[in-house]
A and B are shown apart, each in its own frame.
Chain A
């Protein structure tokens, strides 16, 4: 009997050991997944107990604050126009925007010091989150949202020297203060107000993309900028017919004028000529020498050059940013064809570009050819006053896209475009503006998207902007005036 008792004891003891191991598993090994998992009502209870950090603009104006509500507190959004930046924080519907991406700072989970974290865990003091200080300027943001008005579209404004985002507006938006009441209506409403167009929508850039093509041509020294050429007749590139409609009133023009008057034929041919030794002017004229070089020697070299420059501007890669950004792309099909390359070179084809990318392209010109790294959150201020800088302005420019000399040339193109070309409605009194409009064809029978990208002042840039208005018509008539308001507001700072 004794042996049996000892065996029984061993089995039961082993049972308790397994229980102890299971406790270790659930309380330590598997704990992080369970705690952060979707079935933990404690997170909300803890959140209600947390004094969430505020969100401030660059002048410490409060964008998001807390107000007492019932037992706990609720978030108050002072600037609903910035909803796509701040996002929302709802006990019922979760969080979005910076409220979501920087939750660990705002909720205090990422306390500035280890001591604070330990104190918080052990002593159960009411947790206080860190304030976020943004680069956003509440006034510029408000102007940008107003410039969009009821129209669908987006406006991005940033400081080209540092990459600091001054405004990031997307329309339609919504009021995060009444999210819980409006939720189901917003879900059903047209235009998807939750969608952050400034960062996540990709549009056909239209003629604004000519900045990229022109940069490649100028930077590679492939174009004679002083020699005019004639552009009055359409040209056929495989199935593509490109005409000189945009510059009909200037049949003889320089490359700079072709840019300012947005000559599609010039840029289609320039795109195809990128891979061949310059100057390319002889192929841009009405009577080019036969054979066209791409007809005998292919387009691979040209496509590679355009891809390289587009890549330097930021196409084809994910941009590091404080909020998720869609990737801008040159094309969707795997192989280049001559007509696709031509279309792409003047901004149509299968191009897809985010408004942020468009603003960055302008900023690269403004910044002497260096593409700045965009950012939105400057610093976190802990409850005890410790400041943690999350970005040093301009410390990490993404890329030298072009030489400073090329940037200066492109600036001249864009100034010409504003002063004499199609971008005239972006002009400001007393300040030289550089810009480029775009009118993106989006299919037969549909009103095109209106684009404008640019910056000011041209000689000493402090703000770069991209504006897009969906299905509004020409960039000159719709996007340029909207961008002008934002540039003006930013310059008044």
Chain B
């Protein structure tokens, strides 16, 4: 075979190998995707907080507060759940739904956030039935 034909074939096969590589990668990606689709979907973040102790706030004992995937708590009017307690900070804490569970994060509040009477540093994962304490307000997480 003349060298120039060989050079042409080598070059074209180099590009062909590149495309084969892309095809192989995409095929594997697709297989992953199919497996992900077949996996059971995770339940979306749903749940409520039950007011155990309203403290000085206008909340009622036993009242249920629906949660959003990101639910902010604090004194400020912009919060999803407004806690009119002087011991609550303006932006006190936030609940987020992630990886199939609720996470509570203290936003460096002045008086701290508590889960089952334990102070939360940074972020804590919650279980159903955990009691959140902010100021003198007590809220229970129910699924």
Contact = CB atoms under 8 A, between A and B. Distances in A.
A487 B7 CA distance: 58
A125 B8 CA distance: 11
A69 interface: no
B4 interface: yes
A122 B4 CA distance: 9
> Interface majority SS on B: helix, strand, loop or mixed?
helix
7 contacts: A122-B8, A123-B4, A123-B5, A123-B7, A123-B8, A124-B4, A125-B4
Contacts of B7: 123
A353 B28 CA distance: 77
A123 B10 CA distance: 12
A338 to B, nearest CB: 74
A125 B7 CA distance: 12
Nearest to A1: B98
Interface string A100-126: 000000000000000000000011110
A122 B5 CA distance: 9
Contacts of A123: 4-5, 7-8
A460 to B, nearest CB: 55
Contacts of B8: 122-123
A110 to B, nearest CB: 22
A331 B107 CA distance: 95
Interface string A230-244: 000000000000000
Interface in A119-137: 122-125
A485 B8 CA distance: 58
A6 to B, nearest CB: 13
Contacts of B5: 123
Nearest to B5: A123
A128 to B, nearest CB: 15
B10 to A, nearest CB: 12
A123 B5 CA distance: 6
Nearest to A119: B4
Contacts of A124: 4
A223 B4 CA distance: 75
Contacts of A125: 4
A123 B8 CA distance: 6
A125 B5 CA distance: 10
Contacts of A122: 8
A123 B7 CA distance: 8
Interface in A34-93: none
Nearest to A125: B4
Nearest to A124: B4
Nearest to B96: A1
A122 B7 CA distance: 10
3 closest pairs, A vs B, by CB? Answer: A123-B4, A122-B8, A123-B8
B37 to A, nearest CB: 15
A125 B3 CA distance: 11
A125 B4 CA distance: 8
A231 B118 CA distance: 137
Interface string B1-31: 0001101100000000000000000000000
Contacts of B4: 123-125
B115 to A, nearest CB: 23
B53 to A, nearest CB: 33
A124 B8 CA distance: 9
A153 to B, nearest CB: 52
Interface string A200-221: 0000000000000000000000
A68 B28 CA distance: 58
- Of the candidates A122, A124, A125, the one having the most CB atoms from chain B within 10 angstroms of its own CB is A122
A123 B3 CA distance: 9
A124 B4 CA distance: 8
Interface in A446-467: none
A126 to B, nearest CB: 10
Interface in A121-164: 122-125
A124 B7 CA distance: 10
Nearest to B70: A1
A122 B8 CA distance: 7
Interface string A337-371: 00000000000000000000000000000000000
A122 B10 CA distance: 12
Interface in B25-63: none
B86 to A, nearest CB: 33
A122 B9 CA distance: 10
A49 to B, nearest CB: 14
A467 to B, nearest CB: 53
B65 to A, nearest CB: 23
